[in-house]
DNA sequence: CGCTCGTTTGACTGGTGTCAAGCGCAGTGG
DNA sequence: CCACTGCGCTTGACACCAGTCAAACGAGCG
């Protein structure tokens, strides 16, 4: 049972590429929405103006109620949307993976209602809302894509509510693991059995509405039962059948 | 402490009005989105074709995974979106009040992913998706309104997840009561201290991720502490200060 | 080499779930 | 007109999942 800590404050990360041209997401996922991949008619304008920013791991990314004149998209790294309660408790509402909007709502609203923070080092790009929206109207296909991104955000929240309301700790954890794996699998390829898993136990606790201590106990049980092997920020699924069974309980 | 039951199967209800012309929601709430109230330029077409349907209380309204070629809107009564788990448990994802879309997603998707059921007798109208969407593109203001309806749905889910993940039973109940009151208050008028409350304790339990038994205990405690008075499907708030305090805990 | 961050463990507590029985109102039908 | 029935609400005894508190450990870093 490993314990690991890693450098929380590296202010820039060598693995971050510097241009959208080299971006793995360019033809894929949500970024394609914006560069217009898959449009029947190619965009009649140069690429949208954008600015790019990099933030180190485990740092606040945006404040709750922060106002935006542009809409940010995660290009690299993991982040989380987290709600802070008056009593100091926290609830993670979603994990953000490369290609996700920070929040699709920012296309239509000025303010982000919850805080965001980085989990790994993160790179994001921001697009001017006004120009983005012109695009929306000009290209129905883009509106379509944005809508479906929005729907996906909603579905994840529904799933979260169902988990928190009606499932036990082990089912929640099993589902989190499987859904993250699903999301990480680049489109087309089958989800892999071992993958990068940068979450700390606190993140899991805050996402699943449990305490960090209890997360530890459940992970330990999974480990003892030969379900998973989690170390060095890498997760290996050993018994997928059983994990699926737990998840659907 | 009252016990009440009422007729669950009256197949039509005299209080239901028969035309949209007389609808209280016409100028208000989400229906206004569709008839184009508040547009800078009036709609250049006759009102959208629509059909209307009535369903009695406590009945299934739509099945999970049901496919729609049109998008339904609740005109009268209360309903709920409810997720059914393999083990028989249920989680209510949202309560639908007059003027709400059954789900805003249905504008962009064909299928409703969870079941819906009526709480009171219900009347809803359906609009052809295709025509609705033309309207979306023709009138930016309408798209704006639809988007904000969608955002509101998302925000409620976020609030639900926070409640389920990080709040105790009494805080959840206090928040449910206050938020329903808020939603029922017709726009502009202040929320009233006593209002119609058709939910059974099972509904509350399924919405708040608790058992019906425990809901009963919490309600009883609220009652004993002079916070609320709930009988004959009518809820009176006796100590709003304290209720607010609980809700923000 | 001491500090910090994340993890691990144990003992104990407590909020909710589970099971089960009973009650009361209201609609139904003989 | 009255027993019957069903639904929703109440209540009590008990069990258990998960929270709380507290201490210690291990790995990396300055």
User: Does A164 sit within 8 Å of B93, measured CB to CB?
Assistant: no
- Say which of A86, A151, A160 has its CB closest to residue B248: A86
Instruction: For residue B154, give the chain A residue with the closest CA.
Output: A154
End-to-end CA distance of chain A: 27
Name the strand (E) or helix (H) holding A183: helix A169-184
pLDDT in tens, B57-68: 999 999 999 999
Q: Which of B133, B137, B91 is nearest to B114 (CA)?
A: B91
pLDDT in tens, B132-141: 888 777 777 7
How many Å apart are B3 CA and C22 C1'?
A: 13
**How much is the pTM?**
0.88
Which of A168-172, A203-207, B74-78, B168-172 has the weakest average pLDDT?
B74-78
Distance CA B41, CA B138 (A): 11
pLDDT of residue B145: 84
pLDDT in tens, B185-237: 866 677 889 999 999 999 999 999 999 999 999 999 999 999 999 988 999 99
Helix (H, G, I), strand (E, B), or coil: what is residue A68? coil
How many Å apart are A214 CA and D26 C1'?
A: 20
What is the Cβ-side half-sphere exposure of residue A212, based on CA atoms within 13 angstroms?
A: 7
DSSP state of A53: E
Which of A73-77, A105-109, B26-30, B110-114 has the weakest average pLDDT?
B26-30
User: Does A140 sit within 8 Å of B167, measured CB to CB?
Assistant: no
How many Å apart are B200 CA and D2 C1'?
A: 29
Contacts of B155 in chain A (CB under 8 A): 113
What is the C-alpha radius of gyration for chain A, rounded to an integer number of angstroms? 19
User: Does B114 sit within 8 Å of A161, measured CB to CB?
Assistant: no
pLDDT tens per residue across all 249 residues of chain A: 444 433 333 333 333 334 454 454 554 444 655 555 554 444 555 556 678 899 999 999 999 999 999 999 999 999 999 999 998 999 999 999 998 999 999 999 999 999 999 999 999 999 889 888 888 777 777 888 889 899 999 999 999 999 999 999 999 999 999 999 999 886 667 778 999 999 999 999 999 999 999 999 999 999 999 999 998 899 999 999 999 999 998
pLDDT of residue A4: 40
User: B222 vs chain A: nearest CA distance in angstroms?
Assistant: 21
Count CB-CB contacts under 10 A for residue B169: 16
Contact map slice: B 192-221 vs A, CB within 8 A: 208-209
Quickly state the pLDDT bin for B36 (edges 50, 70, 90): low
């Amino acid at each position: 049972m490993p314990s690991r800590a890693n450098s929380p404050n590296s202010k820039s990360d060598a693995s971050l590429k510097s241009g959208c041209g080299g971006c793995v997401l360019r033809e894929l996922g949500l970024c394609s929405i914006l560069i217009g991949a898959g449009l029947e008619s190619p965009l009649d304008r140069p690429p949208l103006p954008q600015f790019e920013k990099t933030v180190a791991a485990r740092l606040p990314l945006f404040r709750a109620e922060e106002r935006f004149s542009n809409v940010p998209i995660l290009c690299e790294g993991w982040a989380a949307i987290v709600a802070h309660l008056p009593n100091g408790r926290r609830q993670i509402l979603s994990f953000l993976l490369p290609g996700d909007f920070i929040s699709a709502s920012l296309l239509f609203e000025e303010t982000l209602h919850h805080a965001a923070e980085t989990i790994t080092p993160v790179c994001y790009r921001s697009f001017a809302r006004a120009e983005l929206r012109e695009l929306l109207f000009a290209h129905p296909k883009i509106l379509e894509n944005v809508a479906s991104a929005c729907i996906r955000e909603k579905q994840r929240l529904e799933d979260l509510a169902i988990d928190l309301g009606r499932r036990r700790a082990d089912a929640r954890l099993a589902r989190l693991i499987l859904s993250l794996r699903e999301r990480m699998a680049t489109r087309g390829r089958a989800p892999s059995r071992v993958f990068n898993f940068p979450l700390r136990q606190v993140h899991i606790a805050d996402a699943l509405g449990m305490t960090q201590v209890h997360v530890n106990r459940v992970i330990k049980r999974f480990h003892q039962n030969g379900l998973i092997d989690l170390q060095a920020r890498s997760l290996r699924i050993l018994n997928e059948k059983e994990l699926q069974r737990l998840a659907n309980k």
